[in-house]
Amino acid sequence: MELEKVQDIASAVLSSGTLPAQFIRQETEQPGITTVKGQTLAVPVVDFSNPDQHSVIQAIDDASRHWGMFQIINHDIPNEAIAHLQAVGKEFFELPKEEKEVYAKPPGSKSVEGYGTKLQKEVGGKKDWVDHLFHIIWPPSAINFKFWPQKPPSYRAANEEYRKHLHGVVDKLFRSLSLGLGLEEHELKQSAGGDDLVYLMKINYYPPCPRPDLALGVAPHTDMSVITILVPNDVQGLQAFKDGYWYDVNYIPNALVIHIGDQIEILSNGKYKSVLHRTTVNKEKARISWPVFLEPPAEFEVGPHPKLVDEDNPPKFKTKKYGEYAYCKLNKIPQ
């Protein structure tokens, strides 16, 4: 049975001002109650063009230990490439419903790829106010173009251009994180999947919501990826949990928001923290974000790096295949 998309629900209820019950969060989760008002969280900002590489490594190391997230500026991805990626993604979600459904996730598919609305097991029957499109953009052997929209016509070119520039950012991030942990510069990426690392593009589309104080775009979670590299549009929505409170994360045009994912927390044996975050929604405007999840191949085993484990620091996590980890996470099964 085809699930009704949130975009269609939004069109039907926006004028009435009423929010269907399945989207109304418990009071302990409602952003209208739980958000720290009038204060954005100035998460660490790392200037990737800083010629002092030691300073860059130190800043990334510190942010990964204490925040689990940071933003990078001057990252060598042209503003035009980011703007083009955003434009084609927005255009796709503005297509008529039947044109988007061509790319729907096949019923019963074990992959997340495709256009859809439900991603994981829902807690208490509560739904997220979001539709999404997933497709792999790297490596070439893993790409399935049937999930890449053909409208707008420049969709593929925009994604390939963005990906081309992303490789340099990914390599520099892995080098910096590896050196920050006291490893050789190549060791962390190698332990996360190496050249077989999968780049999974997701577009999150959060339509205008009649009661943004009651709903969440995405409920609190950590990313199961190794690293997530995210580009948002200019509609505020990303929130992080810090020192027991939920804060809006400051928006910096053309910055890349970096989330430390579960696999880095595991590989670092808990030295680096995956960030607990969520998304709020807006009454007037659609919020859209473009995270790329860097993931190991499904059969690749991830566990604490041997060099980060000793008598004083025993393994804090199990070593397991990434596909098994992801299945447990999506189905809310204890790891």
pLDDT digits (tens, 9 = 90+) for 59-81: 999 999 999 999 999 999 999 99
| Average pLDDT of the chain, as a whole number | 95
* Residue that the structure tokens 């590299």 belong to: 229
CA 60 to CA 74: how far, in whole Å? 15
Distance, CA of 75 to chain centre: 18
Residue 2, pLDDT score: 52
CA 127 to CA 104: how far, in whole Å? 19
Please provide the size of the chain in residues. Answer: 335
CA 180 to CA 70: how far, in whole Å? 15
CA 75 to CA 165: how far, in whole Å? 9
Residue 1's pLDDT band (cuts 50, 70, 90) = very low
Which of these, 10, 17, 44, lies nearest to 259 by C-alpha position? 44
Query: Is 277 among the catalytic positions?
Result: yes
For 240, half-sphere exposure in the C-beta direction (CA atoms, 13 angstrom radius) is 25
Whether residue 192 has pLDDT greater than 90: yes
Residue 250, pLDDT score: 92
Mean predicted confidence (pLDDT) in 14-42: 92
Which of these, 138, 198, 174, 171, lies nearest to 305 by C-alpha position? 174
Whether residue 110 has pLDDT greater than 90: no
Is beta strand 69-73 parallel, antiparallel or unpaired with respect to 45-47? parallel
CA 85 to CA 160: how far, in whole Å? 9
Residue 124's pLDDT band (cuts 50, 70, 90) = confident
Query: Is 54 among the catalytic positions?
Result: no
Residue 122, pLDDT score: 75
Contact 6, 130 (CB under 8 A): yes
Contact 292, 200 (CB under 8 A): yes
Mean predicted confidence (pLDDT) in 285-294: 98
Query: Is 221 among the catalytic positions?
Result: yes
Residue 140, pLDDT score: 97
pTM for this one? Answer: 0.96
Q: Which of 118, 221, 285, 329 is catalytic?
A: 221
Is beta strand 35-41 parallel, antiparallel or unpaired with respect to 245-249? parallel
Distance, CA of 258 to chain centre: 9
Whether residue 56 has pLDDT greater than 90: yes
Contact 195, 254 (CB under 8 A): no
Spell out the alpha helix ranges (H) of the chain. Answer: 6-13, 31-34, 53-66, 79-93, 97-101, 155-180, 187-191, 262-267, 322-330
Is beta strand 218-221 parallel, antiparallel or unpaired with respect to 301-302? unpaired
Tens of pLDDT, residues 135-166 = 999 999 999 999 999 999 999 999 999 999 99
Residue 108, pLDDT score: 83
| E strand spans, the chain | 35-41, 45-47, 69-73, 114-116, 131-138, 198-206, 218-221, 227-232, 238-242, 245-249, 256-260, 277-279, 287-295, 301-302, 320-321
CA 63 to CA 42: how far, in whole Å? 12
CA 155 to CA 89: how far, in whole Å? 7
The 3-state DSSP class for residue 149 equals: coil
Q: Which of 131, 223, 248, 262 is catalytic?
A: 223
Q: Which of 132, 202, 271, 305 is catalytic?
A: 202
Q: Which long-range contacts (CB under 8 A, 24 or more apart) does 110-118 make?
A: 112/200, 113/144, 113/147, 114/147, 115/147, 116/3, 117/3, 117/4, 117/5, 117/6, 118/3
CA 206 to CA 228: how far, in whole Å? 19
Query: Is 75 among the catalytic positions?
Result: no
